[in-house]
């Protein structure tokens, strides 16, 4: 660095230090309501790394991310307002200290989950490469994150795909409350070597050393050299969080450490001939900047409580559902029945053809996937149907980061049962990022997955887990039952600006229908009455919606006229259609493949007894699986899985003598 560059770096480090010193005071005074993790002592890593970064470069950060976001150009006033929970905050008071973000500046967010930013950065790097940009992604993480699965999956994917990403580990000697030496069996250089990544170690308290190393790394990555791994050994002056008693430091006094990056940089500037008065002036100017930011935040209003539900989801355009017969036929033999699996493949093919931002990724999707649903698409759309390692967290993070960066990913989770291996990227990232950024970002990704009991797939390949997903605000959950809906809902989901979990039932893959026309769409969040009736309402979805229709025909032969509703979308729930039907029939039966207890059926029952109470002439009945994992043996599975016989029996009970029908007039 020359004199002017070093003075600029000094100013930027001072801004971080003085901001955080005031943050500590404000936190102690109660002006900052949430957790605070300060990066005092680590300023040289943030400033040196990002000194040569461009506005179109993308960063992800950690719970200790104030320095990173300020070094990338975040407005100090907006940051102070965010930390104090004000409407003028960078994220409108929805993010706080651990989740500061500004996607417009390439700041894809600090992150409260250790290691969670790594797969998102990989997704962003993929999007940058797809756009033929020489911009890059920089993933900051602490040494503690190296023990997480997210780290290994992300680094492996980046190395395999040679993504334009720089992994920057801030090794400050501690992983939360433990010494780094107690956490890792091998040094970070060995980790990098294990994935074939170039590795650099740098003195993280020397801003010139960091900047020089990063300038070379950035040039190599921008030139197509693939990802690199940098370890910056630095200093954590304060505790893991404000208020941490730091008993694990065993008498150390980090405040007096000679390697403090600001003292070191000031001494070098003095050696270069910068007068002490000029340096003092810089400190005064930064102090005034911080004071002005604090004043701005103090004078800002808190968010209006009436806006508490704002930014949970991106707005959805109205989608008109037209009868298939009104759409232009795809081919002359458009009425020829084809399987649902072929219809789903066509929906993906049409989406890929219509929008260059769409891509598919997942385990073996390039080879056709385990059920052949993507067969042939990789050859038809080179570079846009991508096989991944068996790394569900990396796959979901790929989707999140790529969606934030402007693509429309369709990522596959091979079995719904594997949700537990990657839930964080859906629950804490995809579902919440629009909200936590105050609406500054959209996450237009689709997660295709499948489930289904009835074929002895056992307890780990059969589960119906829609209730778990529907309980997460920000996620849309879709479960089609017909081939036409499978096409129309998938196309609408890919067009949508929200994260959508698209759950297919594999036992429906061979059900046949005419191939839908390319313009066919089905609105999300809109149920369909598949059979009109007057005596009771049966609500179901996915394969059970087909069985509910079968049960209704059996009941009709007995003089019971059942109305059947196919929810199609689980979240958001179409309450209006259910309540209107209940108002006509006065009885409600819910049937689902998932275990009965704590399921979506319980939510529907609560809806009926709350908003539909005065329409009820009988208790709400539910049909579902008993509370046990899915059995393997066919005899046990038949006893466990709900079927049309059970639906019909529950309907007869609702229509029995203890619950006479309401008389008109």
Q: Are strands 536-540 and 588-595 parallel, antiparallel or unpaired?
A: parallel
Give the distance from CA 665 to its chain's centroid: 53
Q: What are phi and psi of 451, to 5 degrees?
A: -150, -175
Contacts of 329 by beta carbon, 8 Å cutoff, 6+ apart: 517
DSSP bridge partners of 478: 502, 569
Answer yes or no: are the C-beta atoms of 469 and 475 closer than 8 Å.
yes
Residue 184 bears catalytic tag: no
Q: Out of 461, 466, 520, 563, which one is annotated catalytic?
A: 461
- Report the distance separating Cα 58 and Cα 107, nearest Å: 6
Helix 276-298 / helix 76-83 crossing angle, nearest 10 deg? 50
Q: What is the CA radius of gyration of the chain?
A: 28
> How does strand 500-505 pair with strand 476-478?
parallel
HSE on the CB side for 136, CA within 13 Å? 28
Q: How far is it, in rounded angstroms, from Cα 307 to Cα 309?
A: 5
**Backbone φ and ψ of 526, nearest 5°:** -125, 115
Provide the strand spans (E) within 262-315.
none
Please give the C-alpha separations between residue 174 and each of 142, 246, 257, in angstroms, as whole numbers.
Answer: 9, 11, 16
Which of 69, 216, 65, 211 lies closest to 141 in space, CA to CA?
Answer: 65
Burial zone of 186 (CB within 10 Å; 0-12 exposed, 13-18 middle, 19+ buried): exposed
> Distance (Å, rounded) from C-alpha 133 to C-alpha 130?
8
Give the phi and the psi of residue 296 in degrees, each rounded to 5: -60, -45
First to last CA, the chain: 90
Please list, in sequence order, all residues whose beta carbon lies within 8 angstroms of the beta carbon of residue 606, skipping any fewer than 6 positions away: none
Is 461 a catalytic site residue?
A: yes
Query: In Å, what is the CA distance from 619 to each residue of 546, 612, 653, 656?
Result: 24, 12, 10, 12
DSSP annotation of 32 reads S
Q: At what angle do helices 600-610 and 575-585 cross, to 10 degrees?
A: 60
The catalytically annotated residue of 153, 170, 211, 392 is 392
Which sequence positions are flagged as catalytic? 392, 461
């Amino acid at each position: 660095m020359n004199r002017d560059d070093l003075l600029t770096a000094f100013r930027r480090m001072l801004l971080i230090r003085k901001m955080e010193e005031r943050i500590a005071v404000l936190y102690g005074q109660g002006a900052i309501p949430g957790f605070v993790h300060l990066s005092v002592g680590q300023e040289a890593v943030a400033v040196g790394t990002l000194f040569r970064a461009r506005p179109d470069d993308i960063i992800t950060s950690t719970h200790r991310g104030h320095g990173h976001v300020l070094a990338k150009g975040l407005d100090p006033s907006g940051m102070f307002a965010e930390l104090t929970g004000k409407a003028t905050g960078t994220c409108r008071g929805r993010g706080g200290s651990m989740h500061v973000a500004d996607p417009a500046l390439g700041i894809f967010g600090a992150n409260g989950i250790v290691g969670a930013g790594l797969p998102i950065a990989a997704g962003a790097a993929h999007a940058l490469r797809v756009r033929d940009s020489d911009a890059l992604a920089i993933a900051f993480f602490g040494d503690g994150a190296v023990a997480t699965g997210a780290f290994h999956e992300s680094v492996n994917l980046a190395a395999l795909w040679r993504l334009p990403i720089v992994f920057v580990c801030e090794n400050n000697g501690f992983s939360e409350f433990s010494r780094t030496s107690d956490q890792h069996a091998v040094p970070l250089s060995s980790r990098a070597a294990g994935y074939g990544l170039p590795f650099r170690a740098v003195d993280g308290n020397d801003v010139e050393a960091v900047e020089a190393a990063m300038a070379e790394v950035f040039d190599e990555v921008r030139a197509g050299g693939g990802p690199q791994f940098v370890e910056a050994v630095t200093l954590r002056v304060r505790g893991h969080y404000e208020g941490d008693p730091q008993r694990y430091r065993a008498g150390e006094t980090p405040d007096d450490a000679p390697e403090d990056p600001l003292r070191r940089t000031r001494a070098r500037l003095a050696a270069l001939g910068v007068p002490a008065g000029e340096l003092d002036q810089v400190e005064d100017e930064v102090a005034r900047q911080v004071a002005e930011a604090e004043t701005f935040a103090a004078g800002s209003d808190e968010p209006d409580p009436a806006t508490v539900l704002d930014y949970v989801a991106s707005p959805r355009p109205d989608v008109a559902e037209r009868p298939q017969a009104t759409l232009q036929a795809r081919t002359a033999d458009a009425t020829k029945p084809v399987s649902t699996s072929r219809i789903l493949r066509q929906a993906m093919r049409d989406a890929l053809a219509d929008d260059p931002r769409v891509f598919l990724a997942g385990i073996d999707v390039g080879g056709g996937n385990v059920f052949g649903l993507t067969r042939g698409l990789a050859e038809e759309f080179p570079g846009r149907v991508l096989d991944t390692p068996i790394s569900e967290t990396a796959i979901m993070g790929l989707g999140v980061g790529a969606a934030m960066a402007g693509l429309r990913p369709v990522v596959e989770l091979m079995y719904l049962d594997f949700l537990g291996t990657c839930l964080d990227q859906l629950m804490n990232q995809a579902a919440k990022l629009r909200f936590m950024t105050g609406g500054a970002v959209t996450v237009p990704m689709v997660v295709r997955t499948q489930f289904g009991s009835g074929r002895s797939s056992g307890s780990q390949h059969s589960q119906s887990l829609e209730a778990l997903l529907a309980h997460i605000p920000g996620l849309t959950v879709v479960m089609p039952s017909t081939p036409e809906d499978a096409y129309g809902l998938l196309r609408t989901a890919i067009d949508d600006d929200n994260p959508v979990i698209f759950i297919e039932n594999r036992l429906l893959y061979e059900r046949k229908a005419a191939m839908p026309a390319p313009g066919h769409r089905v609105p999300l969040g809109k149920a369909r009455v598949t059979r009109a009736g007057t005596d009771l309402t049966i609500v179901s979805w996915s394969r059970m919606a087909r069985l509910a229709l079968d049960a209704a025909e059996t009941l009709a032969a007995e003089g019971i006229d059942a109305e059947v509703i196919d929810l199609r979308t689980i979240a958001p729930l179409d309450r209006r259609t259910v309540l209107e039907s209940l108002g006509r029939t006065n009885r409600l039966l819910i049937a689902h493949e998932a275990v009965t207890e704590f399921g979506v059926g319980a939510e529907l029952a609560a809806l009926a007894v709350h908003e539909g109470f005065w329409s009820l002439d009988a208790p709400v009945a539910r049909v579902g699986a008993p509370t046990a994992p899915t059995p393997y043996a066919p005899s046990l599975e038949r006893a466990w899985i709900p079927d049309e016989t059970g639906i019909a029996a529950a309907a007869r009970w609702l229509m029995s003598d203890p619950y006479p029908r309401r008389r008109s007039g």
